[in-house]
Chain A
Amino acid sequence: MAAHHLAGALLTLLGALFLFLGALGIVRMPDLYNRMQAGTKATTLGNILTLAGLALYHPSWALKIGVIALFVLVTNPLSSHALARAAHGAGVPLTEGSVSDALAEDLSPEGGEAVES
């Protein structure tokens, strides 16, 4: 087995581990926002590691995989940001142990110093 095959397979396995951790986070976290951050961060990293592993395994695919990775890197956080904001707007409650809600402070009229462009 060539060295780059082994490295690619290991990297893909590591990516799969992060994807699994993301799934575990969605099950275990206490409220929607925590679940979302576990889901987004872990799956973005897991996706990119998996893709990087594939690029190592098949060097001729590297350019296309790079474009896909870039796309995942931009779209995954963006969509969860929009979803989380929409959930906040719809009034999905925070978990009981939460200590602050920065978005609510930003949006409230009293918190006038917050910059919303």
Chain B
Amino acid sequence: MKQVLAILALLVLAFLFAGLVPMASKPGNGAVGDYYATHGIADNRGSNLVTSIVVNYRGLDTLGEVTVLFLSVMGVGFILRRREGTPKYSPVPASPILNTGANLLFGSILLLGAYIFVHGHLTPGGGFQGGSVIASGVLLLILARRDRELSHDLLAWLESLSGFGYALVGLVGLVVAGSFLANKGVLPLGTWNRLFSAGVIPIIYILIGLKVGAELSTLLDIMIREPAPEGGGH
């Protein structure tokens, strides 16, 4: 029965993708897609067109997306908060292997995450991806240093300030260039494919990277500090 279902699922997928493949090779993507493809680099000077779309053309949506993430972290923190009378989290020391690995890797993981969101307008990836990489480094540190506590105050400040900065950049655009989150006319666009280019896009993506990194780190820490159910240990 399972095999029959698997084969059926494969057939359905093959049918669906067979319909998609010829479409992908067609040049037309609709009027909006064509506009992005032809004007994207001239408008924003970012060599990563996806970033131009996410941060500039659809910047308001991205602000909403960041807000959704913030609300979900708040919700998880609210649901998983430690109630009066529940046993306090008792850390089990991590193995020496994990400790050594964390010492070795934490810095380079942080560096990789920062690299990804600083270069968001040039190479694939950006604020969300870089922030997730940073949070994975923080997770490694949380697992290796079970006795140390993550500073939620610091993370909350970092998160709030970067969210505030995002809205502020949008407001500056509204005042200087006449539209919320405008890119043209706020900062010089610079030369295509350089680190300092694409106007406010890298600034926004760095802020998003910090925000996502702080949010996901808080989320992971809350989930780990939640007391383990009966029989759970390490």
Q: Which residues of A contact B (CB under 8 A)?
A: 71, 74-75, 78, 81-82, 85-86, 88-91, 116-117
Please determine whether A78 and B105 come into contact, CB atoms closer than 8 angstroms: yes
Q: Name the prevailing secondary structure of the A interface residues.
A: helix
Q: Does B231 contact A (CB under 8 A)?
A: yes
Q: Does B85 contact A (CB under 8 A)?
A: no
A89-B98 contact, Cβ under 8 Å, with A74-B104, A75-B105, A82-B143: no
Q: Does B101 contact A (CB under 8 A)?
A: yes
Please determine whether B234 and A90 come into contact, CB atoms closer than 8 angstroms: yes
Q: Does B92 contact A (CB under 8 A)?
A: yes
What 1/0 flags go to B142-167 for Cβ under 8 Å of A?
01000000000000000000000000
Please determine whether A85 and B234 come into contact, CB atoms closer than 8 angstroms: yes
A86-B98 contact, Cβ under 8 Å, with A75-B105, A78-B105: no
Please determine whether B101 and A74 come into contact, CB atoms closer than 8 angstroms: yes
Tell me, rounded to whole Å, the shortest Cβ–Cβ distance linking A59 to chain B. Answer: 22
Tell me, rounded to whole Å, the shortest Cβ–Cβ distance linking A33 to chain B. Answer: 14
Please determine whether A74 and B234 come into contact, CB atoms closer than 8 angstroms: no
In the assembled complex, the Cα of A81 lies from the Cα of B233 at a distance in Å of 16
Please give, as numbers and ranges, the residues of chain A lying within 8 Å of B5 by CB-CB distance: none
A81-B234 contact, Cβ under 8 Å, with A74-B104, A74-B105, A75-B105: no
Q: Which residues of B contact A (CB under 8 A)?
A: 92-98, 101, 104-105, 108, 143, 231-234
In the assembled complex, the Cα of A48 lies from the Cα of B162 at a distance in Å of 38
B96 nearest in chain A by CB position: A117
Besides the contacts A85-B95, A88-B234, A89-B233, what 6 more A-B pairs have beta carbons closer than 8 Å? A71-B108, A75-B105, A78-B101, A78-B105, A82-B143, A91-B233
Please determine whether A90 and B98 come into contact, CB atoms closer than 8 angstroms: no
Please give, as numbers and ranges, the residues of chain B lying within 8 Å of A74 by CB-CB distance: 101, 104-105
Please give, as numbers and ranges, the residues of chain B lying within 8 Å of A90 by CB-CB distance: 231-234
In the assembled complex, the Cα of A78 lies from the Cα of B143 at a distance in Å of 12
Please determine whether B98 and A91 come into contact, CB atoms closer than 8 angstroms: no
Please determine whether B234 and A91 come into contact, CB atoms closer than 8 angstroms: no
Q: Could you list some 24 contacts between A and B, CB below 8 A?
A: A71-B108, A74-B101, A74-B104, A74-B105, A75-B101, A75-B105, A78-B97, A78-B98, A78-B105, A81-B95, A81-B97, A81-B98, A82-B94, A82-B95, A82-B143, A85-B95, A85-B234, A86-B234, A89-B92, A89-B233, A90-B231, A90-B233, A90-B234, A91-B233
Please give, as numbers and ranges, the residues of chain A lying within 8 Å of B231 by CB-CB distance: 90-91
In the assembled complex, the Cα of A74 lies from the Cα of B97 at a distance in Å of 11
Please determine whether A89 and B101 come into contact, CB atoms closer than 8 angstroms: no
- Max chain B C-beta neighbours (<10 A), residue from A81, A82, A91: A82
In the assembled complex, the Cα of A86 lies from the Cα of B101 at a distance in Å of 16
Q: Which are the 7 A-B pairs with shortest beta-carbon distances?
A: A89-B234, A89-B233, A78-B101, A86-B234, A81-B97, A82-B98, A117-B96
Please give, as numbers and ranges, the residues of chain A lying within 8 Å of B96 by CB-CB distance: 117
Tell me, rounded to whole Å, the shortest Cβ–Cβ distance linking A40 to chain B. Answer: 13
In the assembled complex, the Cα of A117 lies from the Cα of B231 at a distance in Å of 24
Please give, as numbers and ranges, the residues of chain A lying within 8 Å of B234 by CB-CB distance: 85-86, 88-90
